[in-house]
Amino acid sequence: MRTTVRRWSLALSAAAVLMFPLASWAQLTTYDIDKRLDMESHIGNMTGHAKDGKADYRRYCVVCHGPLGDGNGESFPWVDPKPRDFQLGVFKCRSTPTGTLPTDEDLFDTIARGLDRSNMPQWSTFTKQQRADLVAWVKHFSPRWANEKPGTPIQIPAEPEVTPDRIRAGRDVFARVQCWKCHGVLGQANGPSAATLTDDLGRPIAPYNFTEGARPKCGETDRDIYRIFMTGLDGTPMPSYADNIKPDEAWDLVFYLRTLMSQHSKEKEMAKQLNLKPVDPNAPAGQQ
């Protein structure tokens, strides 16, 4: 009996000792990340410090984005879209050209705005300083910020007056750059490619449904919509059209996209008066 007790005692002690390296194994990656704990963010004249964002991250964000910022939190299996992997340093909502890092303000705004049709709430309850600290904390997960500078925000010309001609021209742009292939001719997210779309990590992803009434993920103002298709949503199949659409045409497209949305707008009224038809995918180029 005594021998059995001693054997169990030894086994338990051995198990305890063996578990220590396992616990520290998870710390290896943390060690790499912790080297960037001095990361800062700069929002206006405010400076965010990564270390000061840690507690809020652990309280509010870790359940989805995970302790290592890799998007592998405990809710990962249940939420769709999946949480962002901050270690990759790739973000959808940016004011900067495709492929570049977002500005601190981009991340700052995203935290407060949230991401519609996802589990990312509007964290507008934070103080600005808390958000700035969280931006720095988010940045510290990715080595990209240690090696690269954010891109330069794209220039958005002043918004012109909306006219019937501009809405028609916007429809032509919608047809020419083939937005309908994913978003559908009526913006119902049912284009021929919609079912095949995947994000950069190979996960199925749905295009934005303009008719559903939901706010676009990266903002709902005209300037936000302009910015979305001119910068693209990195990590998703939505590319940047900065090389295909001229700035003036981009405003035309914004006005046409407004006609597809369920919310009341002057563009929608104008389209009604024009009896504007949806794009015809089979029409020859320039003959919509």
Partner 1 sequence: MSMRMKSRRGQISSWVASVFILVLLVVSASPSANALPAFARKYGLRCSACHESWPMLNYFGQKFKDNGYQLMNDRDAPIWQNPGYWPVTFRMTPIWHRVSTGKVLVDTYSAGSSTPTGSAVQRITTSGFDLSGLDFHTGGTLEKNFSFYLLPSSDPTGAFHFESVFARLDNLFGSPWLNVKLGKFELDNLLSEKRILTLTGNGGIYQIYHFIPVGDGNIFGQMGDNQLGVEVMGHSWDDRTRYSAAILSSNDGTTQLPYGNAYTGFFTASQAFDTGRAGVQRIGGYAMIGEAPTTWLTSGGPSSYIAGSGIGNKSFSREGFFGQFYFGQHVDLQVVTQHGQDSAWFGQGYGDVIDGVSSVNNTTGTTLPAGSLAPTWNGVLFEPHYVYSPQLIFIGRYETIRMSQQSTPGTPSNLGNISTYTVGYRYNPFMTSRAGFAWHNEYNWLHQDGTGPTLGLTNPNVNTSEVLMGFDFDF
| Binding track over 69-98 against partner 1, x by CB under 8 A | -----xx--xx-------------------
Sign of CA dihedral 80, 86, 91, 94: positive
Among 42, 47, 51, 56, binds partner 1 (CB under 8 A): 56
Residue 47 binding partner 1, by CB under 8 A: no
The amino acid that residue 207 corresponds to is P
Tokens for 60, please give them.
Answer: 């509010």
Cα separations (Å) of 284 from 13, 38, 142, 176?
Answer: 77, 57, 46, 10
Strand partners, 42: 47
Count of positions on this chain that bind partner 1 (CB under 8 A): 48
Residue 114 binding partner 1, by CB under 8 A: yes
Residue 115 binding partner 1, by CB under 8 A: yes
Instruction: Tell me whether residue 158 or residue 264 sits nearer to partner 1 (CB atom).
Output: 264
Residue 7 binding partner 1, by CB under 8 A: no
- 99: Cβ contacts below 8 Å, ≥ 6 apart: 151, 234
Distance of CA 55 to the CA centre of its chain: 23
Residue 55 binding partner 1, by CB under 8 A: yes
Among 107, 120, 138, 173, binds partner 1 (CB under 8 A): 120
| Binding track over 126-145 against partner 1, x by CB under 8 A | xxxxx--x------------
For residues 252 and 246, what is the distance between their CA atoms, to the nearest angstrom? 10
CB 190 within 8 A of CB 184: yes
For residues 138 and 243, what is the distance between their CA atoms, to the nearest angstrom? 30
Instruction: Tell me whether residue 154 or residue 205 sits nearer to partner 1 (CB atom).
Output: 205
Footprint of partner 1 (CB under 8 A):
2, 5-6, 9-10, 12-13, 15-16, 19, 23, 52, 55-56, 58-60, 62-64, 67, 74-75, 78-79, 112, 114-130, 133, 212-215
